[in-house]
Amino acid sequence: MPQHHADSGALIPLITAGQTLVNKIDAPYARAMHIVPVLVAAVYGAVAGLLLPSAAYRLAVPAGQPRRTTCPEKHVLAGWRGPARCRSCAAHATGRRARDAPGVRTAAFAVTTGVLCGALAAAAPSAGAVAAVAVTPVLVLLGWIDHVVHRLPDVLTLPLAAAVAVLLGAGAAVSHNLGPFTRALLAGLVLSGAYFLIFLINPSGIGFGDVKLALPLGMLFGWHGWLFVALGAFAGQLLAALYGTVLVLSRHAGRSTRIALGPFMITGGFVGILLGSWA
């Protein structure tokens, strides 16, 4: 036995040297491995962003009006995916490439979703971050539509809530840890309930679409912890208040002007989700 100890002792410097060498090779490898998911997520976001504008253009109609089926020049639109560009208009304007429908910039969608997805993937890997990356294109689409026509269509908010629940549930199943998932479901109900109370007290202040949007946002915050539910919700309200103040001060709006809350809930939501993912 003493002989064995002596051998181990002689081996320690060798093992230490070997470990140092492995670490030296490992560090760039580990860094490269960290860049891969960021790139994959950014490409996913950019491609999904390229697919959004057509749906954005078609869904951005005031409440009660049918979805758009034609371009501004009344040509029937071909599909729901891809840039909101009319081929018939392009064909009539000889020598011109098809242009984005007014206000629906394809490049802006692609860059926004690409950057957000990449930033989320740069955080610690978690089912919460994966779910957030997956649904980022829908959140961007919702934020844009609410900004333009002050509504959050049910056709997006309700499947979004279901998708977030399924993705987080799958994450919990894979990790054999129900804690974050249970907290996420509870947080979704609490945040949505809070917005519902505000809606009951002051229906002119927020829309019922905001109540429905709070459900998936609350779940995404809640996966990371109650602190991030508070931070995400607070960041959204703070941004909306700042924007409203700037509008009033710059005389672009009066005190009674209504601003859409959805884009701020979603922007604040990304602050909360990113803080939660990075913490």
Cα 113 to Cα 62: distance, rounded to the nearest angstrom: 24
Residue of minimal Cβ distance to Zn ion = 86
Which CB, 56 or 160, lies closer to Zn ion? 56
* 68 is a site residue for Zn ion (CB under 5 A): no
Nearest to 151 by CA among 267, 51, 58, 59: 59
* 90 is a site residue for Zn ion (CB under 5 A): no
* 131 is a site residue for Zn ion (CB under 5 A): no
Which CB, 53 or 216, lies closer to Zn ion? 53
* 101 is a site residue for Zn ion (CB under 5 A): no
Which CB, 99 or 105, lies closer to Zn ion? 99
* 99 is a site residue for Zn ion (CB under 5 A): no
Nearest to 209 by CA among 244, 161, 268, 165: 161
Among 38, 40, 89, 111, binds Zn ion (CB under 5 A): 89
Among 42, 52, 86, 184, binds Zn ion (CB under 5 A): 86
* 88 is a site residue for Zn ion (CB under 5 A): yes
> Of 180-239, which residues contact Zn ion (CB under 5 A)?
none
Which CB, 28 or 95, lies closer to Zn ion? 95
* 76 is a site residue for Zn ion (CB under 5 A): no
Given the rule CB under 5 A, which residues bind Zn ion?
A: 71, 73, 75, 86, 88-89
